[in-house]
């Protein structure tokens, strides 16, 4: 039976465990969420749930912050990466369906 998506993407980790895994305080994690750098799911009771991919993202953000980057720069960098991925995907779809501009 194939998994529909990676275990890394399942949002099952509490903020306390995420804090332990990343070395960040819960306040720092909430701040990064406020700055739109990480997007946890919420349980019915409002508890934040993170994935392993979120944990990796938080460590990456914290390292960039230590190197002197600002949150808006990190977000801008992510947007560029996303744009490049979108263009590559569009190119692959165009090639697969032989669509020409």
Q: Record the tokens describing residue 95, joined without a space.
A: 């090639």
Q: 8 pLDDT exceeds 80?
A: yes
- Give Rg (Cα) of the chain: 17
Structural domain includes residue 35:
yes
Q: Which residues pair with 13 in a beta bridge?
A: 50
CATH number at residue 26: 1.10.1660.10
Structural domain includes residue 3:
no
For range 67-92, the mean pLDDT: 86
Q: Record the tokens describing residue 72, joined without a space.
A: 């808006």
Full domain range(s) for residue 19: 8-96
Structural domain includes residue 1:
no
* 58, 22 contact by CB (below 8 A): yes
pTM of the model: 0.76
Query: How many C-beta atoms lie closer than 10 Å to residue 74's C-beta?
Result: 19
Domain count for the chain: 1
- Phi, psi values for residue 11, rounded to 5°: -90, 90
Mean pLDDT across the chain:
90
Structural domain includes residue 2:
no
């Amino acid at each position: 039976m194939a998994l529909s998506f990676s275990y890394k993407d399942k949002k099952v980790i509490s903020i306390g465990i995420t804090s332990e895994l990343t070395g960040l305080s819960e306040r720092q994690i909430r701040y990064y969420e406020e700055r739109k750098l990480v997007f946890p799911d919420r349980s019915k009771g409002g508890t934040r749930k993170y994935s392993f991919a979120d944990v990796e993202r938080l460590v990456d953000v914290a390292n960039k912050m230590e190197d002197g980057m600002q949150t808006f720069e990190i977000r801008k960098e992510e947007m560029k990466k996303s744009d490049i991925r979108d263009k590559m995907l569009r190119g692959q779809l165009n090639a697969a369906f032989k669509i020409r501009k």
